């Protein structure tokens, strides 16, 4: 590598003469000018825009400087602007060091300007020493396939798939059942719009028949005719290999035994099929044939054969009658391999089986049913054509009791509130009451939760219609076999009276739990599940449809039971995120990643286990030993591996040990106050933000406290903490994110352990361990930082200078 002579440009902003009223700028400039390798010192009102920025750019363009140190006062905005400008001017942005003399020096030490001036010198010297050792970082590009796999063909998956296909991405929509629609299709109608569950937005590509406001039934929507959209029913994801942008997915497509291209849904096959089985789709309330279609309105509108029921070659009557020769009994399972750049998980949720709650006798008394089963009865296309009956004898149900929170909000089964069951019951109760006003409907509830838009009106309307509400969770459902009537045993808490409510039909509102196969899919994709078994999003507030794995997104009920409006929102969000991820056809990032020194690395498993991003794998070398390999694509550059490595074999390209040491020594080389030096090592996220905010709010703390930013406190090794004491610190603070809010997942926790370990070592050396302390803070806790800085200073003052025994 050609080593140019180092020429450092130092640019000092005095923030419109604000800072020079506190700091002695002349003294500072005189000092900086004398530091070796400093080629240029400039001062201006501001350097992050306008004339000031032009100065920097010209100095870079004119080759007057080849590294820069800028002391600016607008923490992040300034940094972004300056780095972009110097990059355009031809300087690698990683050769620039930006510090904040206002928030980290002048303002918090406003009352002691002399001390602040000395601290400013130390901060600038530290930045210069670090700048000398900085190295260029290259840009990396990784190819990305503009193709997306959507897992799950319910409303979430269909909407995400449609969005992406219409934006021009190739989309593979994988559904495990023979028909699309998922759980929602069985719901009949939706709240709060009261429209059909199978009504979806129409593809915008269907320009001949729709306007942009159009909604259509799935069967009329032309959904599967969208160009670039490949619908795979009866299919399951078996394996996912590869990296974000380039996944190789193995799919198993089970045979339908009906050729989707040829079937015209003429229904002749079902008239000859001799096999009848209970129709699970319709809550087993009617029978269906071995060759079947769920309802007339499904997609794809072609029949399927139930392999568990069909007699195949022993019968084959359907084959004979089929006018288009669509039935192919010799179809076999197929394995397909897809190349996709991104994956959207839309696997949804399911209704919990309430038969475990013995006192409600579900599965034992036929007239105790679930909400989903009732939905099939309410549906005009359902097994009872919209009439509400007692399954035990087929007679109309005139007295209906709903029981809420069955298995939900229940520590014995599922502790969460399933969030939609109150609304489902209100919807069903009002639908029944409107169609059959003489039906007596009672809802037994613990709390009615109607938190969404227009939801409370459902509750209001239900009361207007004469639906009765009993506050109380029934202890048991009894059955009188003679009268064939159910009795619900409940305390009406508001009356403080025990009721025995007679009912023809009792409808349980079971909790909603993760869909079948959620755990297996999570393993295949390497995704985390939350403690309730749902897919875990990356951040509930800011990244609700993203996962810890770049390129894999979530939407709909896969993360938690939710209503149709929220599911739609998430589907569009996940589609947008996937589009944003793949849009350029490549993934561009800086190589600000970790690098392994293979000479030292060998055979331990610390870093691959600790890396929060699964970026490290152990790879065999020729000599039979294993070394760590770091994926530049997956590495986020946090440095947790650096802190974890027991043999110092890993370094961050953008934050090397020698840079950190030089910076630390310089920071502690000038004191200028009467107090002992305290070094605060802060992470670049919440920790440093707390330091920023204490300065911004002009909270005071003494100037002997020096801050040094590291990418994540997880990068710290015990020896570096000890080095700080060696370099002259009388006290050391480690300031990281909250342990459960670390931007790199585990960094704060790992740092905490390092601090504990370093304390033990300090004790061995005869140094008081309380000279070292870990703090966890966020941006809004600037006051806590100022307090902590004062507290540590006082503590160290009391202890006196370090005496090594």
Partner 1 sequence: MAQEKASPRNFSKEITSRLGGETITFCYQCGTCASSCPVAKITEKFNPREVIRLALLGMRDEVLSGDAIWLCSSCYNCQERCPQKVEIADVIYALRNIAIREGHIPNIYSEFAAGLMSEGRIVPISKFLEKKRPEYGLPPLKPAGVDAIRKILSATGFDKIQFKKGETP
Residue ranges in contact with partner 1 by CB under 8 A: 359, 405, 409-412, 446-447, 471-476, 489-491, 493, 496, 498
Of 405 and 696, nearer to partner 1 (C-beta) is: 405
Q: Both ends of the chain: CA-CA distance in Å?
A: 46
Tokens read off for 802:
């370090």
Of 241 and 476, nearer to partner 1 (C-beta) is: 476
State the minimum distance, in angstroms, from the CB of residue 489 to partner 1.
5
Answer whether 153's CB lies under 8 Å from 174's CB: yes
Pairing relation of β-strands 626-630 and 616-620?
antiparallel
Tokens read off for 619:
């790879």
Tokens read off for 356:
């475990």
Of 320 and 447, nearer to partner 1 (C-beta) is: 447
Of 241 and 359, nearer to partner 1 (C-beta) is: 359
Of 190 and 469, nearer to partner 1 (C-beta) is: 469
State the minimum distance, in angstroms, from the CB of residue 240 to partner 1.
39
Of 267 and 447, nearer to partner 1 (C-beta) is: 447
Answer whether 157's CB lies under 8 Å from 182's CB: yes
Of 441 and 490, nearer to partner 1 (C-beta) is: 490
Of 461 and 473, nearer to partner 1 (C-beta) is: 473
Of 148 and 477, nearer to partner 1 (C-beta) is: 477
State the minimum distance, in angstroms, from the CB of residue 406 to partner 1.
9
- b/e code 407-439 from CB counts within 10 Å (16+ = b): bbbeeebbebbbbbbbbbbbbbbbbbbeebeeb
State the minimum distance, in angstroms, from the CB of residue 445 to partner 1.
9
Of 425 and 430, nearer to partner 1 (C-beta) is: 425
Please enumerate in sequence order all residues whose Cβ is within 8 A of that of 566, keeping only pairs 6 or more positions apart, or say none. none
Dist. CA 314–CA 332, nearest whole Å: 18
State the minimum distance, in angstroms, from the CB of residue 197 to partner 1.
30
Of 475 and 619, nearer to partner 1 (C-beta) is: 475
State the minimum distance, in angstroms, from the CB of residue 349 to partner 1.
20
**What's 237's DSSP letter?**
E
Of 252 and 489, nearer to partner 1 (C-beta) is: 489
Three-state DSSP state, 209: coil
Answer whether 487's CB lies under 8 Å from 401's CB: no
State the minimum distance, in angstroms, from the CB of residue 478 to partner 1.
12
Of 197 and 487, nearer to partner 1 (C-beta) is: 487
State the minimum distance, in angstroms, from the CB of residue 412 to partner 1.
6
State the minimum distance, in angstroms, from the CB of residue 413 to partner 1.
8
Dist. CA 768–CA 704, nearest whole Å: 19
Dist. CA 675–CA 746, nearest whole Å: 34
Q: How many CB atoms lie within 10 A of CB 26?
A: 11
> In angstroms, what CA-CA distances link 734 with 346, 384, 589?
41, 68, 29
> In angstroms, what CA-CA distances link 248 with 28, 169, 343?
58, 17, 11
Using a 10 angstrom Cβ sphere, with 0-12 exposed, 13-18 middle and 19 or more buried, the burial of residue 109 is: buried
Please enumerate in sequence order all residues whose Cβ is within 8 A of that of 523, keeping only pairs 6 or more positions apart, or say none. none
Of 511 and 748, nearer to partner 1 (C-beta) is: 511
State the minimum distance, in angstroms, from the CB of residue 411 to partner 1.
4
Q: What is the radius of gyration, based on Cα positions, of the chain?
A: 34
Of 410 and 770, nearer to partner 1 (C-beta) is: 410
Tokens read off for 230:
């490949």
Dist. CA 84–CA 98, nearest whole Å: 13
Of 203 and 472, nearer to partner 1 (C-beta) is: 472
Three-state DSSP state, 637: coil
State the minimum distance, in angstroms, from the CB of residue 508 to partner 1.
13
> In angstroms, what CA-CA distances link 341 with 146, 248, 585?
6, 9, 9
**What's 102's DSSP letter?**
I
State the minimum distance, in angstroms, from the CB of residue 364 to partner 1.
17
Beta bridge partners of 406: 510
Helix orientation angle between 25-33 and 113-133, rounded to the nearest 10 degrees:
30
State the minimum distance, in angstroms, from the CB of residue 358 to partner 1.
10
> In angstroms, what CA-CA distances link 182 with 118, 348, 433?
68, 8, 27
Three-state DSSP state, 457: helix
State the minimum distance, in angstroms, from the CB of residue 683 to partner 1.
37
State the minimum distance, in angstroms, from the CB of residue 319 to partner 1.
53
Answer whether 345's CB lies under 8 Å from 538's CB: no
> In angstroms, what CA-CA distances link 117 with 125, 152, 670, 705?
12, 62, 11, 13
Question: What is the H or E stretch that residue 96 is in?
Answer: strand 96-99
Of 122 and 501, nearer to partner 1 (C-beta) is: 501
Dist. CA 196–CA 183, nearest whole Å: 13
State the minimum distance, in angstroms, from the CB of residue 497 to partner 1.
10
Please enumerate in sequence order all residues whose Cβ is within 8 A of that of 65, keeping only pairs 6 or more positions apart, or say none. 7, 8, 9, 39, 40, 59
Of 34 and 412, nearer to partner 1 (C-beta) is: 412
Beta bridge partners of 479: 486
Pairing relation of β-strands 304-305 and 291-292?
antiparallel
State the minimum distance, in angstroms, from the CB of residue 353 to partner 1.
17
Pairing relation of β-strands 246-253 and 235-243?
antiparallel
State the minimum distance, in angstroms, from the CB of residue 370 to partner 1.
17
CA 259, 263, 269: angle at the middle one, nearest 5? Answer: 105
CA 611, 613, 615: angle at the middle one, nearest 5? Answer: 75
């Amino acid at each position: 590598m050609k080593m140019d002579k180092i020429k450092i440009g130092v640019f000092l902003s005095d923030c419109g003469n604000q800072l020079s009223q506190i700091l002695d700028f002349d003294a500072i400039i005189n000092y900086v000018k004398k530091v070796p390798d400093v080629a240029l010192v400039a001062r201006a009102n501001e350097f992050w825009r306008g004339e000031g920025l032009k100065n920097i750019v010209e100095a870079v363009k004119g080759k007057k400087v080849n590294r820069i140190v800028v002391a600016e006062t607008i923490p992040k905005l300034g940094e972004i602007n300056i780095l972009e400008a110097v990059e355009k001017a031809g300087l690698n942005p990683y050769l620039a060091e930006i510090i904040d003399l206002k928030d980290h020096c002048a303002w918090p030490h406003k009352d002691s300007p002399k001390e602040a001036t000395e601290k400013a010198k130390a901060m600038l010297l530290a930045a210069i020493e670090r700048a000398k050792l900085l190295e260029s970082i290259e840009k990396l590009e990784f190819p990305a396939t503009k193709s997306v796999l959507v897992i799950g063909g319910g409303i979430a998956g269909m909407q995400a798939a449609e969005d992406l296909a219409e934006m021009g991405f190739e989309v593979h929509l994988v559904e495990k059942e023979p028909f699309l629609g998922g759980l929602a299709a069985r719901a009949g109608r939706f709240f709060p719009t009261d429209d059909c569950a199978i009504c979806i937005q129409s593809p915008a590509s269907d320009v001949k028949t729709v306007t942009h406001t159009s909604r259509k039934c799935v069967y009329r929507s032309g959904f599967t005719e969208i160009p670039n959209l490949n619908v795979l029913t009866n299919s399951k994801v078996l394996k996912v290999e590869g990296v974000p942008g380039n996944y190789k997915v193995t799919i198993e497509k089970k045979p339908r035994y009906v050729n989707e291209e040829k079937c015209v849904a003429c229904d002749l096959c079902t008239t000859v099929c001799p096999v009848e089985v209970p129709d699970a789709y319709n809550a087993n309330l009617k029978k269906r044939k071995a060759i079947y279609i769920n309802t007339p309105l499904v997609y794809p509108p072609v029949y399927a054969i139930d392999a568990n029921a069909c007699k195949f070659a022993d019968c084959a009557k359907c084959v004979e009658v089929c006018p288009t020769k669509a039935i192919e009994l010799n179809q076999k399972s197929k394995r397909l391999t897809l190349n996709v750049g991104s994956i959207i998980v839309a696997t949804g949720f399911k209704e919990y089986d309430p038969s475990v709650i013995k006192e409600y006798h579900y599965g034992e008394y036929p007239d105790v049913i679930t909400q989903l089963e009732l939905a099939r009865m309410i549906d005009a296309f359902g097994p009872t054509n919209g009439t509400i009956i007692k399954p035990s004898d087929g007679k109309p149900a005139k007295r209906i009791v709903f029981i809420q929170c069955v298995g939900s909000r229940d520590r014995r089964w599922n502790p969460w509130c399933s969030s939609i069951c109150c609304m489902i019951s209100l919807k069903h109760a009002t639908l029944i009451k409107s169609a059959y006003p003489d039906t007596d409907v009672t809802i037994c509830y613990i709390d009615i939760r109607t938190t969404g838009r227009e939801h409370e009106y459902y509750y209001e309307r239900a009361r207007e219609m004469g639906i009765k509400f009993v506050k109380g969770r029934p202890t048991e459902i009894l059955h009188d076999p003679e009268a064939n009537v159910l009795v619900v045993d409940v305390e009406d808490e508001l009356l403080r009276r025990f009721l025995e409510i007679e009912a023809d039909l009792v409808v349980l509102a079971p909790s909603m739990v993760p869909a079948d196969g959620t755990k297996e899919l999570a393993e295949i994709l390497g995704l985390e599940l939350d403690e309730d078994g749902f897919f875990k999003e990356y951040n509930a507030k800011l990244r609700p449809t993203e996962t810890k794995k770049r390129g894999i997104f979530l939407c709909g009920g896969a993360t938690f039971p939710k209503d149709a409006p929220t599911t739609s929102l998430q589907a569009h969000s996940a589609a947008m995120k996937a589009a944003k991820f793949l849009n350029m056809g490549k993934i561009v990032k800086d190589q600000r990643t970790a690098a392994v020194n293979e000479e030292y690395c060998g055979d331990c498993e610390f870093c691959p286990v600790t890396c929060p991003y699964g970026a490290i794998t152990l790879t065999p070398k020729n000599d039979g030993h294993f070394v760590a390999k770091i994926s530049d694509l997956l590495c986020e550059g946090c440095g947790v591996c650096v802190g974890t490595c027991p043999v110092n074999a890993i370094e961050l390209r953008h934050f090397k040990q020698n840079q950190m040491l030089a910076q630390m020594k310089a920071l502690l080389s000038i004191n200028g106050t009467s107090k002992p030096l305290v070094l605060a090592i802060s992470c670049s996220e919440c920790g440093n933000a707390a330091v920023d905010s204490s300065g911004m709010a002009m909270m005071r703390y003494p100037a002997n406290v020096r801050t040094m930013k590291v990418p994540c406190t997880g990068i710290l090794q015990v020896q570096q903490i000890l080095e700080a004491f060696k370099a002259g610190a009388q006290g050391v603070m480690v300031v990281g994110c909250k342990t459960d809010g670390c931007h790199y997942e585990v960094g704060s926790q790992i740092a905490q352990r390092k601090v504990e370990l370093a304390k033990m070592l300090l004790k061995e050396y005869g140094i008081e361990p309380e000279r070292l302390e870990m703090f966890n803070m966020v941006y809004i806790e600037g006051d806590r930082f100022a307090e902590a800085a004062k507290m540590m200073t006082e503590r160290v003052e009391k202890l006196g200078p370090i005496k090594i025994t």
